[in-house]
Every structure is written in structure tokens, then in C-alpha cells.
Amino acid sequence: MGKQTPLYDKHVVMGAKMVDFGGWDMPLRYGSQIEEHHQVRKDAGMFDVSHMSVVDFTGTDTRQFLRKVFANNVDRLTTSGKALYTCMLKPDGTILDDLIVYFMDENWFRVVFNASTHDKDLAWVKEHAKPFNMEIIEPPNMAMIAVQGPNARAKVGAVFDEPIRSEIAGLAPFTAAHFGDLFISRTGYTGEDGFEIILPASQVNDVWRSLYGEGVKPIGLGARDSLRLEAGMNLYGSDMDETTSPLESGLGWTVAWEPEGRDFIGRAALEKIRNEGTTHKLVGLILEGKGVLRNHQKVIVKGQDGGEITSGGFSPTLGKSIAFARVTKDISGTCKVEVRGQQMVATVVKLPFVRNGKSVQ
Amino acid sequence: MSNVPAELKYTKSHEWVAVDGETATVGITDHAQDLLGDMVFIELPDVGTSFEKGDDCAVVESVKAASDVYSPLSGEVVEVNEALADNPEAVNNEPYASWLFKIKMSDTSQLNDMLDADAYSGVAADDSH
């Protein structure tokens, strides 16, 4: 038996098939995974993401500390509520985790880490925080719901009273607002508009029930994965990990090289990798024939072993199988993928596959 | 609780069989489709192909995984359900109406080795947790 979120009983009552995810018992799907996927693309769905780690960094040295441990530069955050996506690197330039950091005020930044990396992340930041005047606090008994889809914002608005309702209606993309213990950001992991809501565990069942009353359907991890794959968003542990750098993971854009003097952890190694040139890159693939691309299938580029699929699956929006693959840089046009003993043709495409409900391929 | 019709015969690998004279109609069970999740592709054998009992003869591919279907009986494929090519989700919606293929049995005594509904319900319950 794994760890349970405060919504565990709700998932069971709603008929969810539960699976282990990073030590947590989480809903895989409640009914049809493909219908859940379309629900988010066409209307609104909600995800229990309470397994993710909310960590507050407070104190006068917080900004200096985060400039050191994150590859993106928190100096880009100057207004309250603004969010930044970044990797946290090891000295060798490989990726410890990817995360979103929110600027709350000059002495308070909030970070949402992945669930499966919680222990190593906390150990890492605590170790490196020692020389800094700051505190690392995990607010206890928190829960988190993501509400995503073209109608998500309106439906979330309907479950909160004024002035929260008006304030979140005006939230710009990739910003957050907080109201005491309630924290709402216009972020997500689906390629759709929507919010992520962090709130006390004692309130999450009521909010979940109210959202359901507004027609927001529960969505499991299965559809969460196909939605993020279509949206071109990486999954830690599949598309990147402690053996890969951002530069071969499609995340070069998240590395802030300027100013040159900012000596973030991993910088020297990453500069070396950049100067010597990477051999592999992360690309999108669409399978032309019938079949499904799966993680770790072999990719053949120009007749040679060219790498492998890092995340594959069926795209309900495209009606075809899609994937991310880490492949040799000479790839162009098409490649072949070994699918169940057969070599099948796949087309190399720019990410994402889907944006705001529509295929962009 | 998955649906296990009393009139069908079953295998431990989650195929069902309906018998009509020498012809066996084969599909996958409600329990199997529930384990696999939404079907996205179904690969059927060619009509005229002969299989021995236990041979892999079709593939059902869901959002979760590709899974082989094993021939429950020896014989020759006489018909396949081509409608599933455009409508694989029918296997999820109506697993006992959405047959995959029909086999002309070469040895009807093999039917005696198949599971009845009670025995199969036990198998399905055992691998549900």
C-alpha cells in the first residue's frame, strides 16, 4: 500500500483504477482514458496532484540561493506571483529535477517539485542552503488540484466567492495569487488553459465536490500523460534524468546563460557540453502506420542505431501514435522505430503536437 | 465486477469462445478489456490461416500496452471481424458482442479443457489485485 492523498477515498468512490506512482496510490483512470483526454481538450477536467511537493524558501538570502541551485535565473522574477520553469542540475550538468518556482515576495519563493524526486530534492536543497540565511519549509497537510481545459477557468471561478473570483479571473498566464492558505496559479501540464490550486487538505474534498458540481470531470494519470505528451511537455524520469543534460532534453531554452557571472550549479559542465556540441537531441515523432510507440523502443536513423523513444503513446487528438525520442542529431524527415519486431516509419516533427485543443501538425 | 456470461467457455489467458457446431467464435473477456483499457488498434489474423491451440494469433493494443491474443483451440480461421479496424473501442464497450475471429475447429475435444464461467470468474478475481 502506497501513500494516499487527501482525495484517496473520493477516487475509490468514483470508481478509479488505482496505480502506484512514485510510492503514491493514484488514480490511473475513472472510466475511459481517451474520454478523459477529450474532456480536458474540449471542456474541463480536474487532476489530484496532491502527491507533488510544495516547498517554501524564505529568508533574506533566498534569491541568492535560488540563483545558485536553478539553471534558469530567478532574477527574471520581480513581480509577486510570477512563475518560472527551470531545471535543478547536478555539478555534471545532468538534471536532478524540473520544477516551477513562484516569486511571492523578496523573502519568499514557492517551489513545486515532482513527487517521485521529493526526498533527493529536499536533501539537495538543504545541503546547499547551509551557507545561506534562509529556511526551507514544507507546509504541512497541503493538497493540490489541477483544473484544465478551455472551460476550466470559468468553472473554477464559479466555486470561489468574491474577491477571489474576480482576482483569479484576471490572472495572467504563468502567474499566481494567494489568499491566506489558498494558492491559485494559471499553470498546468496539458497544453490547455487552467489553474493549479494548492490548498489545505481539510478543504480539498469540498473544492473537489464543488468543481464536480460545475461539471468538471475527474481525470486520471493515464490521460495526464497523453495530454502532456501532445502538449510537448517533458516528464522527469522518462524524458530526462540524472544521466541527461537540458541540452539533449529539449530544455536548452530553460537555461539562463546570461549574466555570465551567475555561477549556478552545473554551469561549468553545461558550458563544456555546449561548446563541444551534443550528439543527441529530443524530437517529436508521429508513427505513420498502425501501432503504438512505447518508451524505450529503438529508433533507427539513416540505417544506424539512432537512440530511443523516451515517452510514447497514443494521441487521442491526432488519432495516431506520437512520441518523444532522444536521437542522434543527424535525424531529419523520417526515421524508423522498432515496434514489436517490425521497423515502422515515423515522421520527425517540431513540438508540440497539440495546442489549445487543436493539432498543430 | 466483470461480466462473465454463463453460456461461454474461457481460457486462463482471458479469451472467450462461443461454440456453434464445428465453429468457435473467439473474443477477449470483459475482465481483459478492463485490465487493458481503451483499445486503439486491433490486428487480426488472415482468413485461411491455421493455428494450433495456444498460438498467438491476434494483437489487441490499448492505450496501456499491446497484448497477444492466443488461439483457444486448433483450427483454421474462417472469418474475422473487420469492423473492429475502424472501431476498436467496441471491444471495450461490448466485449462479448465484439468477437475477433471465427475458427473451424480441428479437434472439438479441446473444448473439454476450457474453463466454464465459474472457473474463469475465479481466475479473473485472482488476478484483479
Could you tell me which chain A residue has the CA closest to the CA of B63?
A314
Give the amino acid at A291. G
Burial grade of A88 (CB within 10 A; 0-12, 13-18, 19 or more): buried
Local structure of A304: helix, strand or coil: strand
Q: How many residues does chain B have?
A: 129
List A146's β-bridge partners, or say none: A47, A196
Using CB atoms, which residue from A222, A290, A291 is nearest to B63?
A: A222
Alpha-carbon distance values, A149 to A73, A172, A228, A354, B58 (Å)? 29, 16, 13, 13, 37
Are B40 and A226 a contacting pair at CB < 8 A? Answer: no
Contact A49, A196 (CB under 8 A): yes
Count chain A–chain B contacts defined by CB atoms under 8 A: 34
B63 torsion bin: left (phi>0), alpha (psi -120 to 50), beta (else) = alpha
String of DSSP letters for A106-130: TTEEEEEE-STTHHHHHHHHHHHHT
Q: How many residues does chain A have?
A: 361
* pLDDT for the residue numbered B126: 84
* Nearest in space to A183 (alpha carbons), one of A65, A124, A287, A104: A104
- Residues ≥6 apart with Cβ < 8 Å to A79: A103, A175
C-alpha cell at A248: 539533449
* pLDDT for the residue numbered B128: 65
State whether residue B79 sits within 8 Å of chain A by CB. Answer: no
What's the pTM value of the predicted model, to 2 decimals?
0.95
Angle between helices A152-159 and A201-213 (to 10 degrees): 120
Which domains occur in chain A, in start order?
1-277 (3.30.1360.120), 279-359 (2.40.30.110)
Note which residues in 27-46 of chain A have CB less than 8 A from chain B. 29, 32-34
Using CB atoms, which residue from A34, A294, A340 is nearest to B38?
A: A34
Are A292 and B40 a contacting pair at CB < 8 A? Answer: yes
Return d(Cα B120, Cα B12) in angstroms, integer: 7
List A105's β-bridge partners, or say none: A108
Q: Which residues of chain B neighbour A321 with C-beta distances below 8 Å? A: 40
* pLDDT for the residue numbered B72: 97
Using CB atoms, which residue from B66, B89, B92 is nearest to A292?
A: B66
Note which residues in 195-234 of chain A have CB less than 8 A from chain B. 222, 226
Could you tell me which chain A residue has the CA closest to the CA of B128?
A17
For residue B11, how far is the Cα from the chain centroid?
A: 8
Q: Smallest CA–CA separation between A217 and chain B, in Å?
A: 18
Alpha-carbon distance values, A153 to A161, A185, B70, B99, B100 (Å)? 14, 11, 48, 43, 44
ipTM reported for the complex, 2 dp: 0.90
Contact A228, A190 (CB under 8 A): yes
Report CA Rg, chain A.
Answer: 20
Q: Which residues of chain A neighbour B41 with C-beta distances below 8 Å? A: 290-292
Angle at A167 between CA A162 and CA A170, to 5 degrees: 135
Alpha-carbon distance values, A129 to A24, A97, A115, A136, A196 (Å)? 28, 17, 21, 8, 28
Using DSSP bridges, classify how beta strands A17-21 and A45-48 pair: parallel, antiparallel or unpaired.
unpaired
* pLDDT for the residue numbered A240: 98
Q: Smallest CA–CA separation between B31 and chain A, in Å?
A: 13
Using CB atoms, which residue from A33, A290, A291 is nearest to B37?
A: A33
- pLDDT one-digit tens code per residue, B35-79: 999 999 999 999 999 999 999 999 999 999 999 999 999 999 999
Local structure of B21: helix, strand or coil: coil
Alpha-carbon distance values, A288 to A325, A347, B8 (Å)? 15, 7, 38
> Span B80-85, mean pLDDT?
96
Are B63 and A340 a contacting pair at CB < 8 A? Answer: no
* pLDDT for the residue numbered A54: 98
Note which residues in 275-304 of chain A have CB less than 8 A from chain B. 290-292, 294
Note which residues in 327-346 of chain A have CB less than 8 A from chain B. 340
Return d(Cα A152, Cα A182) in angstroms, integer: 17
For residue A193, how far is the Cα from the chain centroid?
A: 14
Q: Which residues of chain B neighbour A222 with C-beta distances below 8 Å? A: 37, 63-64
Q: Which residues of chain A neighbour B40 with C-beta distances below 8 Å? A: 34, 292, 314, 321
Using CB atoms, which residue from B41, B61, B63 is nearest to A33?
A: B63
Into which CATH architecture does domain B9-109 fall?
Answer: Beta Barrel (2.40)
* Nearest in space to A234 (alpha carbons), one of A197, A300, A284: A284
Sign of the CA dihedral running A347, A310, B57, B49: positive
* pLDDT for the residue numbered B1: 61
* pLDDT for the residue numbered B127: 77
Cβ-count burial A215-252 (b if 16+ within 10 Å, e if not): ebbbbbbbbbbbbbbbbbbbbbbbbbeeebbbbbbbbb
* pLDDT for the residue numbered A204: 98
Note which residues in 33-72 of chain B have CB less than 8 A from chain A. 37-38, 40-41, 43, 59, 61, 63-66
Q: End-to-end distance of chain B based on CA atoms, in angstroms?
A: 12
* DSSP secondary structure letter of residue A246: G
State whether residue A313 sits within 8 Å of chain B by CB. Answer: yes
List of E strands, chain B: 9-10, 15-20, 23-28, 39-43, 50-51, 56-62, 66-70, 75-80, 101-105
Q: Which residues of chain A neighbour B59 with C-beta distances below 8 Å? A: 340
State whether residue A361 sits within 8 Å of chain B by CB. Answer: no
Return d(Cα A240, Cα B53) in angstroms, integer: 44
* pLDDT for the residue numbered A55: 98
Return d(Cα A51, Cα A193) in angstroms, integer: 22
**B129 pLDDT more than 60:** no
C-alpha cell at B41: 488498434
C-alpha cell at B20: 456453434
Please list the pLDDT of chain A residue by residue as tens digits (361 residues). 799 999 999 999 999 999 999 899 999 999 999 999 999 999 999 999 999 999 999 999 999 999 999 999 999 999 999 999 999 999 999 999 999 999 999 999 999 999 999 999 999 999 999 999 999 999 999 999 999 999 999 999 999 999 999 999 999 999 999 999 999 999 999 999 999 999 999 999 999 999 999 999 999 999 999 999 999 999 999 999 999 999 999 999 999 999 999 999 999 999 999 999 999 999 999 999 999 999 999 999 999 999 999 999 999 999 999 999 999 999 999 999 999 999 999 999 999 999 989 999 8
Using CB atoms, which residue from B41, B89, B92 is nearest to A292?
A: B41
Q: Smallest CA–CA separation between A312 and chain B, in Å?
A: 10
Q: End-to-end distance of chain A based on CA atoms, in angstroms?
A: 42
- Residues ≥6 apart with Cβ < 8 Å to A24: A2, A3, A4, A5, A51, A115
